[in-house]
Structure 1
Amino acid sequence: MRLPHAHRSLAAFLVLSATLTAGCSGQGQSGPDVAGPETTVGSASSATPSPTPTPAPELPRGGRAVFPAYRLFGYSGAPGAEGQGRLGIGALDERMVEMEKRAQPYAKGRKIMPVMELIATTVHGSAGKDGMYRSRIDAAVIQEWLTTARKHKAMLLLNIQPGRASFPDEIKAYEKWLKEPDVGLALDPEWRMGPGEVPMKTFGHVKAAELNECAQWVSELVAKHNLPQKVMLYHQLNEGVVVNEPTLVPAKGVVMIKSVDGIGSPGAKVDTWKRVVAKKPTFVHGGFKLFYQEDVETGGRLMTPAEVMALKPTPEYILFE
């Protein structure tokens, strides 16, 4: 039944009024073509400011790659232990100033990166409470040396003489420090004792597989914390100290260095260099160690900078003990 004209007009008016009311209030409708009174398209107040990116950590003297920009030059030692290296003699700051001057003839076209090699895990001739023939240095000493290293824009390497412990176990004990962009590792395989072996009575040795395990762990640490390249060197005084050395493999973010540690006259040290460095994998960089006391006592004198830099391949890390 059709409504009378007046009723139809009233009904139409009521429908129109309801529609206009809903439209003005912004309620009762939704969709991309309808916006409430509080919405401002493209409003600057609704934009979220972009955070300032955190700069990637760098090496002490800039950059994130060690080579070929730098030549490393270091002293080793432990506080108050004169027999363990130059850094154990006198005040640290004095030794660092001395190191900087002594390093200059070794630059040979590169920037010098000073290195403090701290003996963090020290081997002993007695077993100790845990039977591992080693002890770890106090954390306060590491912090003191790291503070000094940063004052002089130097790199700190934690030297590990593991006794009967394994290298992987020892380096993981220093994870707090190795997460820092200016702290690396120096491993001493001659003090890696097997079961039944006693330090000072026999030479230790390490299998390449154990060094690879260490390098992989360091690589993961570098990736996790976005660190610059991290040095992991191993000392070697004769060919037998590292077993299956050709099976070493590269690890991303890890710079592996082999420090040749022969003692004696310049001629004897050069011969040791030639024999030991011959087995170095191509990706491993060469390092050369000089001994203030032992080289002079057994060989009559220290090698000169010119003699050291004439070695082939040219050492990329020179260390004095």
Structure 2
Amino acid sequence: MPHFQPLTRLTAPALAALGLALTLTTLPGCGSRSDNEASGTDTATADSARPAVVDTVKLKLEAMRRDSLKADSIAKKTGQLPGAILPGHRIIAFYGNIRSKGMGILGREPKEQMFRKFAGVLKEWQAADPSIPVQPALHNVTITAQGTPGKDGKWRLMNSKATIEEVISWAREHKCILFLDVQPGHSTLQVELPKLEQYLKQPDIHLGIDPEFSLATMPGIRPNQRIGTLDAKDINFTINYLARIVSENKLPPKVLTVHRFTRKMVTNYKNIKLDPRVQVVMHMDGHGEPTLKKDSYHDYIQTEPVQYTGFKLFYEYDARPKPHHIMTPTEVLQLTPKPLYIQYQ
């Protein structure tokens, strides 16, 4: 795991760009005029008798503004903030759910067997491109779309605290960073992300979001019946959410992966607003034979660039039918741009 150098507290003309300034400044103040009128208090007398009220919202906004300006100035000077993983490393991740054999290599095999395989994959990637160190990662689907609606009708289920803590321990035991992945079902990122905040406050835990299983705009559709979608406004919300966590907890930048293998999975990509505290990976998530995967990468990742790029390899699906095969690191590195996030499912 790279050494994380703590940031001096980040902070906003940039907040205006993040859309946070408007939210904070429209919060109602304490002791508004209507409160005084309702209580019958003589406002002038009461004000002279009490100490001046400290506008904590204004102070917090100003602190975050200074932090954002500092973050922007560092990013402009060096290209990244202290502790940033990208572009100085290539992230190699095993994906799945440690409680499921069907979701990916993470969970399909016994733990130690899986990590032995992972060690071999890391060596292959380091040998294929010695110019950039590999950063091992686990990518655990933590909020998972479901085949039944559940009590609240949202078609998703979150891992238990025990499961999340176990996968955190797996990652740290093997010097991996960890991605917690969200499949919102018929819920929204605005509702689901706060459930993960206690974990995202930790410097080695990052986030993935999956438009395929985001169906809030498709009432009555069961996950897997239709490919879902996220708009730039949803991704901007997520970026702003992570940026706040980075600032408030003095963390190195977070990595955000956004899965994609069709055009409609991410709409209005040109409206995505980047922030130096969040490194955005648009991740080609489709399976199939190599030519199809290369075409998907070109059409939905290369031609609609956001920031960094990713590429997924499927142990079970990419090699079907014969003579198709799982692309090698050398083949993947022939893509333009070379992906900095590689995921095995």
TM-score (norm 1): 0.78
Of the three residues 261, 269, 272, the one matched with 2:285 is 261
Residue in structure 2 matched with residue 150 of structure 1 by the alignment? 172
Residue in structure 2 matched with residue 91 of structure 1 by the alignment? 110
- Please tell me the residue identity of whatever aligns with 2:184: P
Give the stretch that moved more between structures: 94-103 or 175-184. Answer: 94-103
- Report 1:1-321 matches (<5 A): 56=6, 64-107=83-126, 108=129, 109-193=131-215, 194=217, 195-282=219-306, 284-298=307-321, 300-321=324-345
Q: CA deviation at 1:124?
A: 1.1
- Please tell me the residue identity of whatever aligns with 2:308: H
Higher RCO, 1 or 2 (CA under 8 Å, sep at least 6)?
A: 2
Give the stretch that moved more between structures: 264-273 or 295-304. Answer: 295-304
Q: CA deviation at 1:298?
A: 4.3
For residues 161 and 146 of structure 1, the distance between their equivalents in structure 2, rounded to whole angstroms, comes to: 19
TM-score (norm 2): 0.73
For residues 104 and 67 of structure 1, the distance between their equivalents in structure 2, rounded to whole angstroms, comes to: 19
For residues 253 and 210 of structure 2, the distance between their equivalents in structure 1, rounded to whole angstroms, comes to: 21
Q: Which ranges in structure 1 are unaligned for 5 or more consecutive residues? A: 1-54, 58-62
For residues 257 and 178 of structure 1, the distance between their equivalents in structure 2, rounded to whole angstroms, comes to: 17
- Is the CA contact 2:98–2:167 (under 8 Å) kept in the aligned structure 1? no
Q: Aligned residues, how many? A: 261
Q: CA deviation at 1:93?
A: 3.7
Q: CA deviation at 1:134?
A: 0.4
SS at 1:65's partner residue? coil
For residues 105 and 240 of structure 1, the distance between their equivalents in structure 2, rounded to whole angstroms, comes to: 34
- Please tell me the residue identity of whatever aligns with 1:150: R
For residues 176 and 168 of structure 2, the distance between their equivalents in structure 1, rounded to whole angstroms, comes to: 9
- Is the CA contact 2:135–2:176 (under 8 Å) kept in the aligned structure 1? yes
* RMSD between superposed Cα atoms in Å: 1.6
Q: CA deviation at 1:106?
A: 2.3
Greater C-alpha radius of gyration: 1
Q: Which ranges in structure 2 are unaligned for 5 or more consecutive residues? A: 8-81
- Please tell me the residue identity of whatever aligns with 2:123: Q
- Is the CA contact 1:264–1:298 (under 8 Å) kept in the aligned structure 2? no
Q: CA deviation at 1:257?
A: 0.4
Which stretches of structure 1, 4 residues or more, deviate above 6 A after TM superposition? Answer: none
State, as a whole percentage, how many aligned pairs show the same letter: 30
